[in-house]
A and B are shown apart, each in its own frame.
Chain A
Amino acid sequence: QKEVEQNSGPLSVPEGAIASLNCTYSDRGSQSFFWYRQYSGKSPELIMSIYSNGDKEDGRFTAQLNKASQYVSLLIRDSQPSDSATYLCAGKYNNNDMRFGAGTRLTVKP
């Protein structure tokens, strides 16, 4: 079963705080993981991809992957109101099959 699960939220944090988004997956066959951001009424866009255990940092964003626990997370430091969006976790399986979680809606309050 190829499932990706996220806490649906909503998650609310004050401006400047750290937002923590979590995702679990059920199939160990997934090797690649992605975080997409989707503003209301818009298309998803990639924030981070992660392929190996550990942390990957890009600016204010850090993705973490733990394959033993089948867990992926995204940390957003110094959260800004412009980070308010829905964040989608995705896992890629063999032959480019992709599965997305339901998304977590984040609100950053000024």
Chain B
Amino acid sequence: NAGVTQTPKFQVLKTGQSMTLQCAQDMNHNSMYWYRQDPGMGLRLIYYSASEGTTDKGEVPNGYNVSRLNKREFSLRLESAAPSQTSVYFCASSEGLGEGTDTQYFGPGTRLTVL
């Protein structure tokens, strides 16, 4: 099992360009998450999907959109990238069935730089 995979690993964009970060999990998990991590800021939740067919805003959703394509895949789109979106992006998944099933498993991260 690959666990949680993310593509790409690295990306450089110019201000105003768009891109989609891809995430897939092979653990049959119900819940999926997108976080960004900036130095000294910990992990901040951008969007999450508690189950297939649902998405909800997290702490910092502005400038992002998401799609839960199916149970395995959860993508994050930047429509018009800004330098403030330079960060490391992590995708995570969990069973999401309540207490004891909410351990999150993280992907390797995507390091994004916006010039």
Contact = CB atoms under 8 A, between A and B. Distances in A.
A31 B45 CA distance: 18
Given A43-B106, A49-B103, A51-B99, A95 B42 contact: no
Interface in B47-84: 48, 50, 56, 58-59
Contacts of B48: 96-98
A100 interface: yes
B95 to A, nearest CB: 10
Interface hub of A96, A99, A103 (most chain B Cβ within 10 A): A96
Task: Assign chain B's interface to a size class.
Answer: 20 to 34
B68 to A, nearest CB: 13
Contacts, number: 60
Interface string A21-32: 000000000011
Given A97-B48, A98-B33, A103 B42 contact: yes
Interface in A82-110: 88, 90, 92, 95-103
Interface in A7-29: 8
A97 B102 contact: no
B25 interface: no
Nearest to A49: B103
B56 A44 contact: no
B102 A95 contact: no
Contact of B58 (A31, A97, A101, A103): A97
A55 interface: no
Interface string B14-44: 0000000000000000010101000011111
Interface of A: 2, 6, 8, 31-32, 34, 36, 43-46, 49, 51, 88, 90, 92, 95-103
Given A51-B100, A95-B56, A100-B42, 5 more contacts: A36-B104, A96-B102, A98-B58, A102-B41, A102-B42
Interface of B: 31, 33, 35, 40-45, 48, 50, 56, 58-59, 90, 94, 96, 99-100, 102-104, 106-109
9 contacts: A43-B109, A51-B99, A88-B43, A96-B48, A96-B94, A97-B45, A98-B45, A98-B48, A100-B45
